[in-house]
Amino acid sequence: MATAGAPRRFCRCACFCYENLYVARYGLHVRFRGEEQLLRDYGPILRSRGCVSPKDFQQLVGELEQEVERRQRLGQESAARKALISQSYHPVRPDVYNTLQDEALAPEFLAAAEYSTSPGADFEGLLQRLETVSGEKRIYRVPVFTAAFCRALLEELEHFEQSDLPKGRPNTMNNYGVLLHELGLDEPVVTPLRERFLQPLTALLYPDCGGGWLDSHRAFVVKYAPGQDRELGCHYDNAELTLNVALGKAFTGGALYFGGLFQAPTALTRPLEVEHVVGQGILHRGGQLHGARPLGTGERWNLVVWLRASAVRNRLCPMCCRKPDLVDDEGFGDGFTREEPTTVDVCALT
């Protein structure tokens, strides 16, 4: 298991600015280093998806250039938003900013975490305390939060959403939601969730994916509603593992769907659909292709936690599939470090 020590500087891979740029109207992730490269690498598939005229292509190039510039500014702008929010924002539910307590967590989740830290705990024993959504895909469901905590967190998130303070996009595909580190909920809520409760489970469920060596995360809430984001295209996460918890509200549709691992040539053959249940979380590997079906009615809010292990990603960036080209970043960055954790037996992860 990862052990506490002196704070380390986290980094991102330089590929973040140029790889996996999402073009929603063409349902495509692209690498962008200029017009010639874009046309050479993606010309046929872009034409097959509706990018047929020179005007279409130049519009796309302009949008990609803007996205590259946005990503290059992201760290500094996020730090500035976080500072402004800390100075100016007045929470409506200050209790959710207290250090995460057992009372906020579902009894089933507490029992699974307690079992996972007990002597003799093993994979088979833990499976008796979770729902296996797909053994083949290694997708599991477990209640995480109580209904009362979900309501309190949603009340706070909606209050912040209605404020006039600046808000960053949750990720490069979703346009509506909240970055929890900017709101000040990372340290009191998400870090103890990862360290005290999730890591004991993931160490048993995903030992080969760094589940026992989680040392950073990126947490955000995404919102789906009429007139805003309604669905999410197929993608994989910049994470070793992902937790996705439905917070509410009342909604229909919007099911998750899962294919295979992104490296597999038939990764989206016969996708598996998984319905959301408020308060319950879905655990899956970050490299599992997935998306969200269109929302039917109502609003859907989900907490997504990308769980990262530098012992794994320091060797291979999951987004460009190369040795990471490290760039210093704010906070947890993208979970890379310039050195291996001294307590990690890297051979055990291969």
**Which whole number is the average pLDDT over 127-135?**
97
**Helices then strands, each counted (H, E), the chain:** 9, 18
Confidence of residue 252 (pLDDT cuts 50, 70, 90): very high
Average pLDDT of the chain?
92
Report how far apart the first and last C-alpha atoms of the chain are (Å, whole number).
16
pLDDT for 169: 87
> What confidence tens digit (pLDDT) does each residue in 16-65 have?
999 989 998 998 999 999 999 999 999 999 999 999 999 999 999 999 99
Question: From the CB of residue 116, how many other CB atoms can be counted at a distance below 10 Å?
Answer: 22
Question: Does 3 score more than 50 pLDDT?
Answer: no
Distance CA 158, CA 145 (A): 18
Distance CA 192, CA 217 (A): 11
Distance CA 336, CA 12 (A): 6
* Cα four-point dihedral sign 82, 87, 91, 97: positive
* Cα four-point dihedral sign 258, 261, 21, 350: positive
pLDDT for 346: 44
Confidence of residue 6 (pLDDT cuts 50, 70, 90): low
Identify the bridge partners of residue 326 per DSSP, sorted by sequence position: 13
pLDDT for 303: 98
> What confidence tens digit (pLDDT) does each residue in 80-98 have?
999 999 999 999 999 999 9
**58 residue type, one letter:** Q
Q: What domains does the chain contain, in order, with CATH numbers?
A: 94-338 (2.60.120.620)
**258 vs 344: which has the higher pLDDT:** 258
Question: Does 126 score more than 90 pLDDT?
Answer: yes
Structure-token pair, residue 234: 């197929």
Distance CA 212, CA 207 (A): 6
Identify the bridge partners of residue 288 per DSSP, sorted by sequence position: 261
**Which whole number is the average pLDDT over 284-289?**
96
Confidence of residue 262 (pLDDT cuts 50, 70, 90): confident
> What confidence tens digit (pLDDT) does each residue in 156-196 have?
999 999 999 999 988 888 989 999 999 999 999 999 999 99
**51 residue type, one letter:** C
Looking at residue 24, what DSSP letter applies? G
Question: Does 10 score more than 60 pLDDT?
Answer: yes
Distance CA 45, CA 26 (A): 9
